[in-house]
Structure 1
Amino acid sequence: MRKWGVVALCAALGGCLTNAETVQFRASNPQQQALMRDGQPALVSRQKSSLVLVRPASRQVRANGRPVFVVAINNLGKGPIDFRVAQVEATQHVAGSDYGMQVVTYEMLVQEEKNRQVAAAIFTGLAAAGNAYSASQAGYGHYTTAGGRTGTFYSPTAAAIAQGNAAAQNDAMIAATVETGQRNMAVLEQSVIKDNTLMPGEWCGGQLHLAPPVASEGGGQKTYTIVITVGADRHVIDIAQGPAGA
């Protein structure tokens, strides 16, 4: 039983540490510097009019999950410059070939969350209906007399108590579902990077989500490149992602 409990816990945690991967950055030109920030790898890329700082959003990435990076952009120029998420490019390099990786935009993440909320509302509604039905039957009972006769009875008090408890449980479930959805939407609004016009000296940033890279042969490192365009500057970020501790 203990063994199966550990297996179930590992599954709940996304495969435990065996499926965890980490990322590393490689400075590809003299205008870049690979460094550490709060114990995590990071890369600073400087171009004529902008500076970009990139680091992973978490210390480890699920092997088959979306890599998420925190991107900070600074306008070093004397005039406003634009950053557009649609201009971000991601390419994976596999066995001498290049494959595009989708950039998962804020709008896509919001739609995913809306879909999740619809599914959660359906499950919550089914659970609430089950509670209500059980409560409606709670007032009925069975009895057997000393002579062996059986029958049924109905208790309005028991039914009222059960229905009151079910209503309270249903209200709590529905409120929790709504609150979770609102909280998730707020997190997306606050954390995910979006289009911005940066004034001179201004910073902007947020999370950049990518589609999962395909697995490499033999479970080795996955390599991919992110190109972040800021105004006329192109920041080319080379990344290697592989098993944790490798």
Structure 2
Amino acid sequence: MPGVSFSFASATMYPLPCGALFWPAESALLVADLHLEKASWLASHGQPLPPYDSLDTLQRLASTLAATAATRLFALGDSFHDPDGPGRLPGDAVMLLDRLLRQLDWTWVGGNHDGLAPGRLGGRVVEEARLAGVSLRHIADPAEGGAEISGHWHPKVRIALRTGRQVSRRCFALSANKLVLPAYGSLTGGLRVDDRAFRAAMPAAITAMVPLKKQLLQLAVAG
């Protein structure tokens, strides 16, 4: 069992250093923004990169699923970098993903990059979902009055070290009723949580949470 937790929507949840969220009461693992096949998309646009991002992302996901023993997975959008991404998956990644899809109750939530394309591979594909009264979607809805978990914004935060240096780390962005997951994919960047885009999506006080192995750093985000 992961070592650090917090309470959201009256439930105990575990934000993991890898960027996934484990919800034990629902035996569910939530991830966002895998952006599978981003490297092949970039290569087709003149930016060649080693074509191993999808396999690396899926291998990390498989390890996280094994460690948590989750039986359900919710992928909160942009699971692929583009709608044609599922057709470009290399064979070893296809086999691993197929095994995971067979083992789990898997729900793909459509994103702005991939739409409902991931459904070609199996699992359930939806535009939005609800789990124990919590709305699950790709992009946070400012008008949502209930509890909501989403992705899309790839939150990250700068942390001041004792040496005086600053480092950037992906984080979970939390407000009173909203939780935005960090991007899980190997080739994903991030947006600082003090960016005005977060203020528009989460019109309330925001806390940036950075999970470590034995500690959960919680940083108030300046308005």
Which TM-score band (shorter chain)? Answer: under 0.3
Kindly indicate whether structure 1 or structure 2 has the higher relative contact order, using CA contacts under 8 Å at least 6 residues apart.
Answer: 1
* Structure in which a larger fraction of residues adopt strand: 1
Given the two structures, how large is their TM-score scaled by the length of structure 1?
A: 0.26
Q: TM-score normalised to the size of structure 2?
A: 0.27
More helix per residue: 1 or 2?
1
Question: Of the two, which has the highest radius of gyration?
Answer: 1
